[in-house]
Amino acid sequence: MQKLAPDFDFLFNNLNKIAYIFKDPTHFGSVNQKMADFCSCKVSELEGKSVSVILDQKEIETVKRFNQNIFNEGLRKKAEMEIEINKKLHTIEVDTIPHHNNQGKVDYLLCLAEDITAELEKEKRFYRNKKRYRSIFKKAPLAFVVSDRETNIIDWNDKAEDIFGWKKEEVINKNFNLIVAEDSYSEITEVIENVFEGKKSYNINKNIAKDGSELYCEWNTALIRDKNDKILEIISIAQDISEKIETKRRIENQKEELKYSELRTQFFANISHELKTPLNLIFSSLQLLDYKLKNTNFEQINHFDKYLASIRNNGFRLLRLVNNLIDITKIDVNTFQLHRANFDVIELIRSVVTSTRDYLEAKNRNFRFESSLDSEVIACDPFNIERVILNLISNAVKFTAEGDEILLRIEKEKEWIKISLRDTGIGIKKENQDIIFEQFRQVDQSFNKKREGSGIGLSLVKSIVEMHGGKIELDSIYGVYSRFSVYLPAETIDERTLAAESYSADSLLNKVELEFSDINYI
């Protein structure tokens, strides 16, 4: 093994580098402690030994060729090598210095090495981060605008070009105010000052595009500093929120319009109630007059019956209209309430049929009632279910002629109670079937004298059925028939719900007279 001079030996073993000597291309001479530590072994395990103690065959051949060239040429060389030590890959930078003896021959090689694995990895991460940053910066869905301390633009990305219209080369070295509306200059100045002072960096500004159009952007601004905390750049990230602001304005306008509409609707409901008061007085007077006429022996008073019937009928028509208007208004403002209980719906509808027979016979309609069920208790508001059935029957009378058939049928379909009313009247054209459930809509058909009504009834019927959790369907062939089918859930409610939805009975006879009031008597 090559002996080192004392002074050289001191330097060799105290170098802050990995140091070792090759006495031939593949065998170590002296090695320092740094080399031993790097190889995770003792100095004695390396000195005088072949490189095979730390390298595999492929690496041995690489080192051998490299060293042999230096022995032959006698020239100093630097190189980077990848070697595997203890199953871990390292990159080392080696400075190999040949030592010449008195005859000018190279008798050994002094190698000074550094493990640069961590440094290279750091450079790779920096490079990847830089590439990643540039990729994100360029293709980000937000506008990136980079400025210097004087707020002159030094860079911006593709999205900034899309939003503001200027190409990157057109804005470089231009002041940031280029994209700011004049009336927002003071706001921008304040924002920049706040950013420099470490305060709030978020703001919404009115900006200006290349074509002169104005837009609103949401900005977040941050400072880029160096390791000495010196400000290098100002980076501002923007999102175009012009459409969002416009949408917000439209929604606010719509809310105002809705509020105004609700006020008008409430006003209409109040007027409807005011109309109802004098009607009650009219009916009270009619009752008194009727009583007096029946209990007074006046001659030739028979002709008064016709006028009284007309007054009564038209009074009921007006009351029916007001009631419907009140209820449809309540539905519009979500104040209409059902008062449900567990009722036998078959018995309920039988009562309606019984109460309407006189009217149907007077109009010479061939009416039939069929039910495949003897009894079925369901949760319903009996007052409003009666109202639904009466409306459908009265509509059937309006749009049929003498001798036409009206069939009311009840059956059960899975979880539904199906109540269908079929008539052989004039039917409804296909193009008109979608509008008959809309408020205030009527289909112009024949039998004009028998078509009195406001166009509210079926809309109200549909709302009542749906509030019960049901549905209503129409099947009709113009000139042949019409069939309305009401589906109600075949379910009951518990005691707690019953207590919350108390029900008070009303006179069914009055409701029949009220519902049939717009059918003229001939």
Does residue 512 register a pLDDT over 80?
A: no
pLDDT, greater one: 262 or 432: 432
End-to-end CA distance of the chain: give it in Å, rounded: 138
CA 438-380-366 angle, to 5 degrees, is: 65
CA distance 24 to 502: 109
pTM tops 0.75, yes or no: no
Q: How far is CA 419 from CA 168, 177, 411, 455, in A?
A: 72, 72, 7, 22
Q: How far is CA 444 from CA 379, 394, 474, in A?
A: 36, 17, 17
| Band of pLDDT at residue 130, cut at 50, 70 and 90 | low
pLDDT, greater one: 516 or 26: 26
pLDDT tens track for 7-58: 677 778 788 889 999 999 999 999 999 999 899 889 999 999 999 888 888 8
Does residue 483 register a pLDDT over 90?
A: yes
Does residue 59 register a pLDDT over 80?
A: yes
- Token pair for residue 242? 């012009």
| Band of pLDDT at residue 445, cut at 50, 70 and 90 | very low
% of residues, the chain, pLDDT over 70: 79
Given this model, what pLDDT does residue 448 score? 40
CA distance 20 to 510: 118
| Band of pLDDT at residue 241, cut at 50, 70 and 90 | confident
Does residue 306 register a pLDDT over 80?
A: no
pLDDT tens track for 133-158: 666 777 778 888 888 888 898 888 88
Q: How many CA atoms lie within 13 A of 97 on its CB side?
A: 8
Given this model, what pLDDT does residue 522 score? 40
Does residue 410 register a pLDDT over 90?
A: yes
Q: Could you give phi then psi for residue 233, rounded to 5 degrees?
A: -145, 160
CA distance 317 to 321: 6
Least confidently predicted of 168-172, 281-285, 459-463: 281-285
Q: 3: closest CA among 18, 17, 21, 16?
A: 21
